[in-house]
Structure 1
Amino acid sequence: MASLLRTPLFARHQALNGQMVPFGGWEMPLHYSAGILQEHLATRRAAGLFDVSHMGRFTITGKEALPFLQHVLTNNAGALELNESQYTLLATPDGGALDDAYLYRFFEDRYLLVVNAANRPADWDHLQQVRAHFQDVRLTDVTMDMAMLSLQGPRSKKMLAALLEDGALPEPRRNALSIARCAGVEVWIGRTGYTGEPLCFELFLPATAVTDLWNRLLDQGAHPVGLGARDTLRLEAGLPLYGHELGADPAGDTIPVFASPLARHAVSFSPLKGDFIGQNPLHRQFMAQRAFLEGNFHRLPDLPRMLRTVEVIDKGIARAGAAVFQGKQQIGWVTSGTMVPHWVFEGQGLSAVMTERTERRAIALVLIDSQVAEGEIVTIDVRGKPLRAGVMPYLLRSEAPPFARPITWALYRRQQQAAAIERNREEAANRVRHWVQRAVENHRWRQEQCINLIPSEQTPSRLVRLLSITDPAGRYAEHKKVKAFADAEVFYYQGTDFIAAVEAALAREMALFLGCRQVETRPVSGQMANMVVFSAMVDHINRADRKSEQRRLRHVMNHHIIKGGHLSAQPMGALRDYIMRDPVTERPAVINFPVLPNNPYTIDVAACRPLLERYQPELVILGKSMTLHREPVADLRRMIDKLQLDTVLMVDMAHVLGLYGPHFQAPFAEGADLLTGSTHKTFFGTQRGIVAGNGHPDRPEEAALWEAVQRRAFPGAVSNHHLGTLLGLLAAAIEMNAFKERYQPQVIANAKAFARSLHACGLKVAGDPNMDFTETHQVIVQVGYGQGPDIARQLEENHIICNYQAGPDEEGFTASGALRLGVAEMTRFGMQPEDFQTLAQLMADVILHAKTVKDPVRRLREGFLRMRFCFDDDATDQLLEQLHRLL
């Protein structure tokens, strides 16, 4: 029998009382003194540190490295950009798995492939056989020279960041990579792992240096974790293990790759791959799975069984190999099963907290007939004893960092059952009075007691609010230009003369405000305004061919949402249906603006030119929801023109529309083609959106694009365009044109004073301190990783209303470590720089010292109850009284 291999950390495992066992040809720790259950819980609560140096590691280089990988692996290796990784498989010709693996691209000309320890020799031989068909591919086994650690859990990011001496952690998204220096050595870092934890890192470094880094991570508080808990963690996450969920089933038959839910992420049929091993049977499996989703099981022979997660309902533990039944019919087997602990969470949604209590449950992965539906109960034969088990889509969810959250069978069933509607026995009139009283209380609280700092909110003037609920609220006024009538607007309803005049007047006021030629006022939100533009772009680029399938936008350049980009400009938002899939990456064809390393709230303009030249986007979208600085409109205009690109430059001024002009920024004067915005954030209006253009009517291309905007506004986006709020917006636009010269500089002065004061109080303010941290109405305060929601709630309890925000280096909104503050609304109620200085101290008292400041905040607000920058003369007051009596 060959002697077992040992990792460079073998002596450390022994010193930590690791129980050493044979595994995959290596001598590895099964667990340490704490035991498997405690190691599992420590990973879920803090951070687990795993020695995974037994995993096989191969580098692939050479001119034909990419074609080789495309042929031998199932995923699209060509989709990997620098500093990206992907889950993949080595398939067998019959559509099974020789192994699953991870492919990393830390360097332009070198790939790193990580495979399972037990399969390393077989994988190496297989790769060598395939390599013989390629002329310039070099494979190197670096398993013995390169160590590999896995750091997983909610505190892993903080621990690893504390050891960085140079470089940075990878971008906060799954599979991102970076190279940094830790403990005096270069470390390759990947946001990957095998535990289901949303915060996960795998580290590659020289074997000679791993002991020091291991020790330093333990000093940071990481818990050493052995193979036992590594298995329970991966099973709870529903992740496959070769020899159990991959390879052969208990009957000795090949388990189809698409039996695993992960196959949809690990197998690509991109034309760029060409022919690859297992392609045809894998495609048949894929087509079967797609048919199953539609309720069609005619392809069942191609994918007879699927892997499912189950929780055992009865008392007992299901182990691998146990038969699974539905009624008296055997439908499959358990492939992996165990008892796992989990922390108990209390509360709902973001307020849910991890308690000190733990529970245990028996769970399993089962390979069962594909027709068995989620939510059904099956029976597992455990040594002659039938145990009921619930079929679930997942046992753990990871999309709410920093914690992975267990989903139990009881919780899953509650989610699936329709909530019973409780019959309210009160009289209808009493119910109405109840909600009216609640509305009165809420109005008084928000308008008289609270300091409102949400940057996307604005209280309209009394005039605007009253006009918004007068007739024509509730009416219809659909209309469009008809060329047969010389582009006259033709209305489809009678009684619309007034609203036609209102709409024309609003377009003139907005054009005056923006200094542009065209304004479309019918969108009822900023997001809808963006959708109108995206739809118009697709309409415009297909104007020469109305018979073929209409193509989508080839490439769009925008801000990533984590870097403050608007949700409506993301592929998961309003852009979703208008953007093509990049045939290389198989992802939405979006290019994100690079940002400055020392100020991630600012675009790195110099780095934009090569991206523009390479991708030639058809649409560039500037504008952010987390906006501190001006956008480089003029710089990008010059680049686009110099490169002679057929690119539309759009600026989404959702948050800063009310600041348009010389005090902040005037994008049309800097070369923007289109502008969208929300009319209720820094602008004085009702909650609506606008699209504006400055195209010259004598330039056919520009005129055609604007006609497309109008077509996609109606009938493309709206039917009823909310005529009451349209009338209110007209009054708001007139107010804005009348008062902008005083309002805009006051907003910016207040924001700068607020930022300076918060900084002086000891809070960490984001942005460039050389320009007082901000050039807009927004101020961003960093309060600590994952602390944003809790601190925002504490401030609300003290009558200060703001919103928590994920920063540029955070994984998502549940991990938010910042507060986004806006001064526009309170500026309109008369607050000055010295008042924001007072407010900054009150906020610091709450955030830094946990003080209660309800009464001082209420007293501060009492001094600012009358709205400024609006018409408040006697004649206007008399008209308002007429409106009030009418209503």
Structure 2
Amino acid sequence: MRMTELHRTPFIDFHQEAGGQIVEFGGWEMPIQYPSGIVGEHLITRKGAGLFDVSHMGRFIVSGDDALGFLQHVLTNNVAALDVGESQYTIIPNESGGAIDDAYLYRFEEENYLLVVNASNREKDWDHFQSHLEGFGNVILEDSTMDIVMVSLQGPESKNILTALLDEGELPDPMRNTLSEVILGGVTVRLARTGYTGEPLCFEIFCDVAHADVLWRMLTENGAEPIGLGARDTLRLEAGLPLYGHEMGLDAEGNELPVFACPLAKFAVSLSPLKGNFIGKEALSRQQKAFARIVDRDFSLKADLPRIAKAVAITGKGIARQGNMVFREGTHVGYVSSGTMVPYWVMEGEGIHSRLTGEKGRRAICLAIIDSDLDIGDTLQVDIRGKMSDAVIVPYHMRSEAPPYARPILWHELRPGVEKTPFAEASQKIQALLSKAAENTAWRQRECINLIPSEQSVSPMVKLLSAMDPAGRYAEHKKVAAFNEAEVFYYQGTEFIANVESLLQEEMRTFFGCLQAETRVISGQMANTAVFSAMVDYINRADRKSEQRRMRSVMNHHIIKGGHLSAQPMGALRDFIARNPRTEKPAVVNFPVLVDNPYRIDVDACRVLLEEETPELIIFGKSMILHKEPVKEIRAMVDAMGLDTVLMYDMAHVLGLAGPSFQDPFAEGADLVTGSTHKTFFGPQRGVITSNVDVGDSKYDLWDAITRRTFPGSVSNHHLGTLLGLYAAAIEMNCFKETYQKKVVDNARHFALALSDCGLNVAGDPSLGYTETHQVVIKVGYTKGPEVATRLEENNIVVNYQATPEEEGFTASGALRTGVQEMTRFGMEKEDFSALAELMAAVINDGKNVKEEVITLRSRFTEMCYCFKGEAVAPLMERLHRLI
């Protein structure tokens, strides 16, 4: 496969027809730019969809019984971590810890892997792999570069283009490195959420060479703009992505760069025992140890990693180019590895409401291989054509975690100056606060329709009780075995609150029909944290001297599928979950969902996962919850398999619906129920943990650990004011729950149907009335959620925007999440929600202003229902008012 002449990709005619400037690159004739120019193409990709011909890159297929072992030996990443439908960035190392090349490994099928390498290194990489095949019995290595075409579709419009062309299959899950096989415009293609531009919406597309013409035409005819190699380079530089021959390979002085000189090495190099003694392991291990110490500002191993590539912004004049020398206070500290002037779209607005404008800017940026003891914020000087230009080390030039746009980060915005605010008299501040608080309360309680599903207005009685004297007190206590498990309080003056807490526990046990209730946690998040901590304590109860092991496996809802933040490795679960030794990621397995309704768990598919993963904890419950959780079905599976698994239901959103109108978790087999007390429940913002275990049960030790991890593990002062309020709210709930719960569910279903009848796209299963809870989810269009939610708020309808399971994150939200619980408590009936649906449709579909109509509608519902009021409590509440 020696290259004797320049190759051409199957798309060369398209490049020439489009006016592409053809140059030699890596042994291929490729377009460096089109008539719009590098700057224009860079901006097109950041705002629209850029189409890159990357068929010049090498594509090797590796198969055979020993393919895994071979790839583990010749690549730096842990290939065993890849399941079908996943990909990973990796490096081809040499024995000294340098890079022969960097690459991407895709696993579209069970039986083989696709490895994409750089065009200029294809021959070298092939020869390297051939030299290491000996010792691996059944490995088939094929060069399919000429048989498979590869294009890259990058930018915020790329998803819309693919969706419009989709005939069969699903786009890869909205997470980087996921894969799928689909049919686009009649062509079978393989899709990967990967790319080399830093775009959060990025796809690389593979198909048989016979379909190349059809693929290119359908993409360009549907809005994709051809982009050349020039803009591909400026885009990757802005994203801080390495290029072989610049940030890896040889440095400006001809010395080999250690792999860990490239910051992406921390993602591309694995030292997992599963890899065995792979090429370069010893050298890479030394580099990794040096890198870890350097991150901690310990430079004792700097000799193993003397220089590292870092992002540098040019603050003086000139454009840095590869090879320019870099200085720090007159001392030579390295070289520019990549540098140029890049364009960007100017942003306007703040936060979620920021948008790209039509205004353009330009800035000089670079990557530089510089001394590893230099850090972000250090000022530098770059020798540009004999003149010193000021520069500064920055953490990044761009960020991609707010899809659908990649957003430029300008160096001067990272360290803004501090402006002094003029002094104001304390009394003026207090007056302003009181005035604004009154206005806000009047607006929320009298003039707007509150549909946030995670909120609830408490009754006047609960609000008043929460401000009583206990609000400023302490009442720490714990059970002491020496006193026959009696609660011992560490403060005096606590008799009243001790009695209230005992009565609150009784009310909670009555509400759930259970034996145990822990009410000291002050949020649902804290409740979950206490449970996770207790699980670790419970797991290690037989061994108190060894390092306490974390939970080996947990099954939960992925956050993109509506899962609670606290149940994610990024949330409260983080410190209590082990790492899967195969994937080297947190040992969490997500519930599979139904293809035709991603808001419901695929129960049948859970069986295989339970057998494979044997989770120690299963966490039900979601923040976007339309349907019941299959507690009973999963309990039956767990018991039949004989698994020692704890079933926990985080009912945060549906706590106030627990019972016959929704579902009874303990009757269905849950071991634990946690939740927030201020969503569908009537209480102030607190949390609760409950269980049905009794003394002597096999899992009573877990409950005992939960009480310890609550106090002293999680709280000291457990907010006695709201504890008092919660007791009153629990009494209200137990008194009124039967009618309230049924009304909430009926109102939600009627609201969903009314919204659908008004032409809005309601998520969920229509055969179930779209919802079985208090929530109704309305799809308003990809990325349109924040803008539509703002328009509704301007019309006094308060909702929250929500990403659906098909979307990449909250900034790409295409839905609204609503809940009927609060307005139901204020007395709204089915016909009132029908009227509200019409008003919302007028805003969403027609852009009308209905603020006055909303105020009029709300004016009929300002007195709270399902609570105690009237002559029986009025004199006592007046007495409490006088005592504040």
Please, what TM-score do these two structures have when normalized by structure 2?
Answer: 0.99
- Report Cα offsets for 1:129-178 as digits up to 9, x if no partner: 11122111110111000000100000100101111111010000010001
Deviation at 1:440, TM superposition (A): 0.5
* Rounded Cα–Cα distance in structure 2 between residues aligned with 1:477 and 1:103: 58
Deviation at 1:380, TM superposition (A): 1.2
Matches within 5 A, 1:469-548: 469-548=467-546
Matches within 5 A, 1:39-54: 39-54=41-56
Matching residue of 2:712:
715
- Report Cα offsets for 1:420-471 as digits up to 9, x if no partner: 45242x2211211110111001000100001000000000000000001101
* Rounded Cα–Cα distance in structure 1 between residues aligned with 2:334 and 2:696: 71
1:860 maps to amino acid: L
Deviation at 1:33, TM superposition (A): 1.5
Deviation at 1:183, TM superposition (A): 2.3
Matched, 1:662 2:664: no
Matching residue of 2:265:
263
Deviation at 1:697, TM superposition (A): 2.1
Q: Which residue of 761, 783, 792 maps to 1:786?
A: 783
- Report Cα offsets for 1:548-567 as digits up to 9, x if no partner: 00000000000000000000
5+ residue gaps, structure 2, are: none
- Report Cα offsets for 1:188-223 as digits up to 9, x if no partner: 100000000000000010011021111111111111
Q: Which residue of 304, 307, 312 maps to 2:306?
A: 304
Matching residue of 2:581:
583
* Rounded Cα–Cα distance in structure 1 between residues aligned with 2:123 and 2:426: 75
* Rounded Cα–Cα distance in structure 1 between residues aligned with 2:374 and 2:522: 45
Matching residue of 1:844:
841
* Rounded Cα–Cα distance in structure 1 between residues aligned with 2:833 and 2:566: 31
Matching residue of 1:247:
249
Larger mean CA deviation between 572-581 and 470-479 belongs to: 470-479
* Rounded Cα–Cα distance in structure 1 between residues aligned with 2:322 and 2:526: 52
Matching residue of 1:282:
284
2:197 maps to amino acid: T
Matching residue of 1:422:
421
Matching residue of 1:806:
803
* Rounded Cα–Cα distance in structure 1 between residues aligned with 2:550 and 2:337: 44
* Rounded Cα–Cα distance in structure 2 between residues aligned with 1:8 and 1:512: 72
* Rounded Cα–Cα distance in structure 1 between residues aligned with 2:868 and 2:728: 10
Q: In structure 2, the residue corresponding to 1:288 is in which secondary structure?
A: helix
Matching residue of 2:557:
559
Larger mean CA deviation between 272-281 and 642-651 belongs to: 272-281
Q: Which residue of 356, 359, 362 maps to 1:357?
A: 359
2:830 maps to amino acid: P
Matched, 1:624 2:622: yes
* Rounded Cα–Cα distance in structure 2 between residues aligned with 1:660 and 1:285: 54
- Report Cα offsets for 1:594-619 as digits up to 9, x if no partner: 00000000000000001001110000
1:657 maps to amino acid: L
Q: Which residue of 727, 730, 736 maps to 2:727?
A: 730
1:285 maps to amino acid: Q
Q: In structure 1, the residue corresponding to 2:24 is in which secondary structure?
A: strand
Matches within 5 A, 1:695-774: 695-699=693-697, 701-774=698-771
5+ residue gaps, structure 1, are: none
2:365 maps to amino acid: I
- Report Cα offsets for 1:62-96 as digits up to 9, x if no partner: 11111111110000111111100000000111111
Q: In structure 1, the residue corresponding to 2:470 is in which secondary structure?
A: coil
Matched, 1:825 2:822: yes
* Rounded Cα–Cα distance in structure 2 between residues aligned with 1:457 and 1:407: 35
* Rounded Cα–Cα distance in structure 2 between residues aligned with 1:131 and 1:818: 52
- Report Cα offsets for 1:512-550 as digits up to 9, x if no partner: 010001000000000000111111111101000001000
* Rounded Cα–Cα distance in structure 2 between residues aligned with 1:656 and 1:162: 37
Larger mean CA deviation between 31-40 and 118-127 belongs to: 31-40
* Rounded Cα–Cα distance in structure 2 between residues aligned with 1:757 and 1:639: 38
Deviation at 1:276, TM superposition (A): 0.9
Q: In structure 1, the residue corresponding to 2:756 is in which secondary structure?
A: helix
- Report Cα offsets for 1:367-395 as digits up to 9, x if no partner: 11111221122111122121112211110
- Report Cα offsets for 1:635-683 as digits up to 9, x if no partner: 0000000000000011010000000100100010101110001111000
* Rounded Cα–Cα distance in structure 1 between residues aligned with 2:76 and 2:29: 31
Q: In structure 2, the residue corresponding to 1:484 is in which secondary structure?
A: helix
Matching residue of 1:5:
7
1:759 maps to amino acid: S
Q: In structure 2, the residue corresponding to 1:875 is in which secondary structure?
A: coil
Please, what TM-score do these two structures have when normalized by structure 1?
Answer: 0.99
Matching residue of 1:883:
880
Deviation at 1:706, TM superposition (A): 1.0
- Report Cα offsets for 1:403-432 as digits up to 9, x if no partner: 000011221232xx5x345242x2211211
Q: In structure 2, the residue corresponding to 1:119 is in which secondary structure?
A: helix
2:52 maps to amino acid: F
Q: Which residue of 185, 188, 196 maps to 1:186?
A: 188
2:781 maps to amino acid: G
* Rounded Cα–Cα distance in structure 2 between residues aligned with 1:379 and 1:696: 70
* Rounded Cα–Cα distance in structure 1 between residues aligned with 2:51 and 2:615: 43
* Rounded Cα–Cα distance in structure 2 between residues aligned with 1:450 and 1:85: 48
Q: In structure 2, the residue corresponding to 1:314 is in which secondary structure?
A: coil
Matching residue of 2:162:
160
Q: In structure 2, the residue corresponding to 1:154 is in which secondary structure?
A: coil
Matched, 1:120 2:117: no
* Rounded Cα–Cα distance in structure 2 between residues aligned with 1:573 and 1:327: 43
* Rounded Cα–Cα distance in structure 1 between residues aligned with 2:603 and 2:292: 43
Larger mean CA deviation between 874-883 and 593-602 belongs to: 874-883
* Rounded Cα–Cα distance in structure 2 between residues aligned with 1:248 and 1:592: 43
* Rounded Cα–Cα distance in structure 2 between residues aligned with 1:660 and 1:487: 30
Contact persistence 1:8–1:208 (CA under 8 A): no
* Rounded Cα–Cα distance in structure 1 between residues aligned with 2:633 and 2:709: 30
- Report Cα offsets for 1:783-802 as digits up to 9, x if no partner: 11111111111111111111
Larger mean CA deviation between 827-836 and 124-133 belongs to: 124-133
Matching residue of 1:383:
385
* Rounded Cα–Cα distance in structure 1 between residues aligned with 2:696 and 2:280: 58
Contact persistence 1:503–1:726 (CA under 8 A): yes
Q: In structure 2, the residue corresponding to 1:107 is in which secondary structure?
A: coil
Matched, 1:868 2:865: yes
Larger mean CA deviation between 149-158 and 322-331 belongs to: 322-331
* Rounded Cα–Cα distance in structure 1 between residues aligned with 2:267 and 2:574: 19
Matched, 1:340 2:345: no
Deviation at 1:329, TM superposition (A): 1.6
- Percent of matched pairs sharing the same residue: 61
1:22 maps to amino acid: E
* Rounded Cα–Cα distance in structure 2 between residues aligned with 1:129 and 1:841: 71
Count of residues paired in the alignment: 882
1:394 maps to amino acid: Y
* Rounded Cα–Cα distance in structure 2 between residues aligned with 1:218 and 1:114: 24
* Rounded Cα–Cα distance in structure 2 between residues aligned with 1:497 and 1:365: 66
Matching residue of 1:100:
102
- Report Cα offsets for 1:267-316 as digits up to 9, x if no partner: 00111111111111111111111111221111111111110111212221
Q: In structure 2, the residue corresponding to 1:38 is in which secondary structure?
A: helix
Matching residue of 2:430:
432
Matching residue of 1:146:
148
* Rounded Cα–Cα distance in structure 2 between residues aligned with 1:88 and 1:435: 55
2:549 maps to amino acid: R
* Rounded Cα–Cα distance in structure 1 between residues aligned with 2:652 and 2:673: 9
Q: Which residue of 119, 129, 132 maps to 2:134?
A: 132
* Rounded Cα–Cα distance in structure 2 between residues aligned with 1:799 and 1:183: 44
Q: In structure 1, the residue corresponding to 2:223 is in which secondary structure?
A: coil
* Rounded Cα–Cα distance in structure 2 between residues aligned with 1:412 and 1:724: 41
Matching residue of 1:404:
406
